[in-house]
Amino acid sequence: MEVVAIRPRGYCYGVVNALNVVKDAVKDHPQQKIYVLGIIIHNKFIKEALDRLGVISLYDNNKTKLELLDQINEGVVVFSAHGISQEVVDKAIEKGLIVYNATCRDVIKTQDIVKEYLDKNFDVLYIGKEKHPEAEAMLSINPKKIALVTNLNDIEKLDIKNNTIVTNQTTMSIYDTKDIMDAIRAKNPNVLVINEICNATKMRQEALLDLKDFDMVYVVGDHLSNNSNNLVKIAKTNVSKVQLIESVMDIKDIDLNNIKRIGVTAGASTPTSITQQVIDYLNKYPNTTAKDRVIDYSKLL
Q: Please give the positions annotated as active site.
A: 134
Q: If you ran DSSP here, which 8-state letter would residue 7 be given? A: S
As a dihedral over the C-alpha atoms of residue 119, residue 123, residue 126, residue 127, rounded to 10 degrees, the angle is -150
- In this structure, are residues 263 and 6 in contact, taking their beta carbons and an 8 Å threshold? yes
* 237 closest CA partner among 209, 213, 207: 209
Question: Residue 247 and residue 219: Cα distance in Å, rounded?
Answer: 10
Question: Residue 267 and residue 115: Cα distance in Å, rounded?
Answer: 29
CA distances from 191 to 39, 102, 112, 126, 166 (A): 34, 32, 18, 13, 7
Report the run of H or E that residue 286 belongs to, with start and end: none
* 103 closest CA partner among 165, 195, 37: 37
CA distances from 32 to 25, 73, 201, 222 (A): 9, 12, 35, 29
Q: Where are the alpha helices (DSSP H) in 38-161?
A: 44-52, 65-69, 86-94, 105-119, 133-139, 152-156
* 298 closest CA partner among 56, 19, 49, 57: 49
